[in-house]
Amino acid sequence: MKKYNVAIVGIRGAVGQCMLEILQERNFPVGELRVMSSNPDECPVYHFQGREIKATKLAHDAFKGIDIGLFSPGASISKEFVPHAVKDGCVVIDNTSQFRMDPDVPLVVPEVNPEDIKSHKGIIANPNCSTIQMVVALKPLHDYAPIKRVVVSTYQSVSGAGAPAIAELEKQTADRSFPPDKFQYPIAFNVIPHIDVPQDNFYTKEEVKMVQETCKIMKDDNVKVTATCVRVPVLKAHSESVNIETTKKITREKALELLSQAPGVTVIDDLSQNKYPVPLDAEGKDDTFVGRIREDETIDNGLNLWIVADNLRKGAALNAIQIAEELIKQDAA
């Protein structure tokens, strides 16, 4: 089997470390592995396939000989370094917001639009975590009955804001007087309806991302999306309450059938037996979990869904590596 030289940029972050774990779990055909950081001296020694890997300095000329770059360092760093990686022949899969809405950059969820990978010009964007899990569940329904409108409310875990946010929740849970730093208010025993920066239309950037990215991934500007994104005191895995309106009726039974057959989806749906997805069950898992499937009785063609996924895995690291696997499969690397 052909081997590929891989670089992980942003190894100190939770997503970068998850990428390292998943490459190993999935036996990705890695030849040389480079893990990069702006501050390599602050990094521990990493282990991969029985080898010790030391972080190297992120630099403009650090990508010579690298086939695939997995980036998750922050948008400003991707903006600076991705063009240099591409210039040296590296295909970059970028997990930041920097290139997602660039019309020349495919925005990919492999279960939804793998064909878009072929159009890459050296960069493939990984969508926002909350968008990924939603479109994985919407895709089989949209294929059966085109979706007209989506109303989504998210319940996003603190890990989406990084390791310091996890620490903040843990400290505030033990001591309610611990002051907020990563969030606008205390996050323990609380919910905060504010993720990312406010926009001129009174939505937040996180909410706008979900609107724009959904239409781009599904290649359908006729899908109208409105979102409210909320931070909740959960360590890992995002949850979403999603209401959709379709062009023709999808019964609960048909939705169960479509979702049960969909790639990357696990259906857990038996309310009478208290069976539905919860974040603790999704943590550390690869699939997107769907439950509480029911027809919206206020409109003719409506459905309600509850969607849960591990935001560090399917919402970030796993999706990026699945893109890399599909890249290899399509011989587009």
* Low-confidence spans in the chain with pLDDT less than 50: none
Annotated catalytic residue within 18, 90, 129, 229? 129
Q: Are strands 4-9 and 51-53 parallel, antiparallel or unpaired?
A: unpaired
Q: What's the burial of 198, exposed, middle or buried (CB within 10 Å: 0-12/13-18/19+)?
A: exposed
Instruction: Give DSSP secondary structure letters for 143-181.
Output: HHS-EEEEEEEEEE-GGGG-HHHHHHHHHHHH-TTSPPS
Domains in the chain (CATH in brackets) are 4-127+316-329 (3.40.50.720), 130-311 (3.30.360.10)
State the Cα–Cα distance between residues 28 and 4, nearest whole angstrom. 9
Instruction: Give φ, ψ of 286 to 5 degrees.
Output: -90, -30
Which residues, other chains included, contact 10 with Cβ-Cβ below 8 Å and sequence gap of 6+?
16, 36, 37, 71, 72, 73, 74, 77, 95
Tokens of 5: 């030289």
pLDDT at res. 41: 86
pLDDT at res. 332: 59
pLDDT at res. 333: 58
Instruction: Give DSSP secondary structure letters for 91-136.
Output: EEEE-SSSSTT-TTS-B--TTT-GGGGGG-SSEEEPPPHHHHHHHH
Determine whether 229 is an active site residue. Answer: no
- Please give the C-alpha separations between residue 329 and each of 79, 126, 141, in angstroms, as whole numbers: 27, 18, 26
Determine whether 142 is an active site residue. Answer: no
Q: What share of the chain is helix, strand, coil (3-state, %, to 5)?
A: 35, 25, 40
Contact 186, 176 (CB under 8 A): yes
Alpha helical stretches, state H, the chain: 14-25, 75-87, 129-144, 163-174, 205-218, 252-260, 279-282, 318-329
- Please give the C-alpha separations between residue 165 and each of 19, 109, 181, 186, 332, in angstroms, as whole numbers: 20, 26, 8, 11, 37
Instruction: Give φ, ψ of 198 to 5 degrees.
Output: -65, 150
